[in-house]
Amino acid sequence: MAHGTGPAPEAARTLVAVFASPVAEVLLRFGAELGYRTMLMEPDPGRRPGGFTTVSEVGGHVDATCDVVLTDHHRDEIGPVLRDLLKSPARWIGIMGSPRHTGPHVQALTELGVPPEEIARVHRPIGLNIGSRTPAEIALATLAGLIADRNDRPGGFAF
């Protein structure tokens, strides 16, 4: 039997999933189990699932305790949402997507006049490379990467 002896996770950590999606739902469920306060940010009122604390914009909801994950890189709103998030004190901001090509957020932010050094603050790819395919696997890899980052570890099996 494994016994955890480390300190409990920081109670003040917040996980913000941006855009309602199957991955966002699992991220928020698993995140709560890992000690995160969880929140969904969904600008479209017609896409908001029940069961989660949901906001429509960054506003005063994102502070320095927040790890923010955009779960859909095909949404038209990624530029304005990321621009506003980059102005917030969020601890970490990432967007899901394949590392094999440039993310659409780069062009969207460039067109909005966001400087390259700010765009570079957006992590992509995110999570650990475990070959994730399903929403649960993607959420697990993402949260493992966030925990590794929070604990100043590289993730993976290298020690």
C-beta of residue 106 within 8 angstroms of C-beta of residue 78: no
Mean pLDDT of 111-122: 97
| Span 80-100, pLDDT tens digits | 999 999 999 999 999 998 888
pLDDT of the residue at 5: 62
Task: Answer whether 85's CB lies under 8 Å from 58's CB.
Answer: yes
- pLDDT (0 to 100) of residue 29: 95
pTM (whole model) above 0.85? yes
19-65 pLDDT tens trace: 999 999 999 999 999 999 999 999 998 888 888 888 998 888 899 99
Please tell me whether the peptide bond between 104 and the residue prior to it is cis, using omega within 30 degrees of 0. no
pLDDT of residue 9: 52
pLDDT tens, residue by residue, 3-14: 566 655 555 799
Question: Of 156, 137, 147, which Cα lies nearest the Cα of 23?
Answer: 137
